[in-house]
Amino acid sequence: MIRFGVLGAGRIGKVHARTIASNPKAKLAYVADAMPKAAEDLAAMYGAKPATVDAIMAAKDVDAVLIGSPTGFHAEQIQAASNNGKAIMCEKPVSLSVEKIHETLKVVEKNKSTLMIGFNRRFDPHFAELESRLRKGAVGAIEIVTVISRDPAPPPADYVKGSGGLYRDMMIHDFDMARFLMGEEFVVVNALGSALVDKAIGEAGDVDTAAVQMQTASGRIAVITNSRRATYGYDQRMEVHGSKGMLAARNVHNTTVELHNAEGTLADPVQNFFLERYGQAYANELNTFITAVESGNRDPRPSGFDGLQAQKLADAATESWKTGKPVKVS
């Protein structure tokens, strides 16, 4: 039985608490939040106890921590959990600073801790199936990976100011998916970006519309496009084109019902945002972590290294957008 302490009882902490509580191999023991009432409410839903972050770190009856606090706390909480002998599942991103990720991974390595990073899209059943067929050779040698990711509506400009910018906050998931599908590291990144959706996002120093091209040492290419707005819902698609064909994963609609009439065909809207679209992915992700901890697998994926590589690509894209030049990635 893996006994969990959840750090952060916000949007994502609630999703993960539900999965922990519903897995027979796990137990939700404690919940901590900077706002005690939030911890109390979430703990009460599943018969857990509210506690402070420090108490969870020190607790002998906690085997694993789930870090769902705001990004700025992830690195220090990973380090504290590692130094206290806990297994760690941490939400993306590890940190907005590559330096800090290096420092954190050194601590994790020294303590031989189990660390998994919350790049949930790898666990989406559709994308996981695409990747599995890709690895079995369905399209031959990979030539171009295309990832399209559009949010239904932009966040408030205030959120954008503390987010690290679109490439680090939003496209980070797509950098991870592009690496996951390509199976080879990218060595150069070229980014374009504009504020076309909300002028306030541009005034806050960020973009809401972006396209990135990346290339591996062997010449394979990935193209990612992002928008902070899509009038038709949460647009999440990917394609891999190769020497023998093309694999594509399309959007998931609210239902499979379509209206056909003389004007054409009308499908239901696509699922609106991440909590609906990736509900199954979040559960699969955390259940994978629980199985890894239970079976003594100390290297579940996506790993801390995957977190580091995605962050490097996000930094390179940010620099490329600012300088107008392609940026090499080491």
Binding site for ligand NAD (CB under 6 A): 7-13, 32-35, 38, 53, 68-71, 73, 91-92, 118, 120, 274
Q: CA–CA distance from 146 to each of 165, 223, 249 (Å)? A: 21, 5, 11
Please say which residue, 5 or 242, places its beta carbon nearer to ligand NAD: 5
Please say which residue, 222 or 281, places its beta carbon nearer to ligand NAD: 281
Contact by Cβ (8 Å): 95, 69: no
3-state helix, strand, coil split of the chain in percent (to 5) is: 40, 25, 30
Please say which residue, 12 or 191, places its beta carbon nearer to ligand NAD: 12
Please say which residue, 13 or 233, places its beta carbon nearer to ligand NAD: 13
The CA distance from 151 to 128, in Å, is 21
The CA distance from 73 to 83, in Å, is 16
Phi, psi of 206 (to 5 degrees): -125, 180
The CA distance from 298 to 50, in Å, is 28
H or E segment and range at residue 266: strand 264-267
Closest approach of Cβ 191 to ligand NAD, in Å? 20
The CA distance from 122 to 175, in Å, is 12
Half-sphere exposure in the Cβ direction for 40 (13 Å, CA): 3
Which tokens hold the place of 97? Answer: 């600073």
Closest approach of Cβ 291 to ligand NAD, in Å? 19
Please say which residue, 36 or 245, places its beta carbon nearer to ligand NAD: 36
Closest approach of Cβ 23 to ligand NAD, in Å? 18
One-letter amino acid for residue 129 of the chain: E
Residue nearest to ligand NAD (CB): 10
The CA distance from 80 to 207, in Å, is 34
Please say which residue, 9 or 189, places its beta carbon nearer to ligand NAD: 9
Closest approach of Cβ 258 to ligand NAD, in Å? 29
Half-sphere exposure in the Cβ direction for 199 (13 Å, CA): 0
Closest approach of Cβ 203 to ligand NAD, in Å? 23
Closest approach of Cβ 121 to ligand NAD, in Å? 8
Please say which residue, 91 or 206, places its beta carbon nearer to ligand NAD: 91
Closest approach of Cβ 149 to ligand NAD, in Å? 11
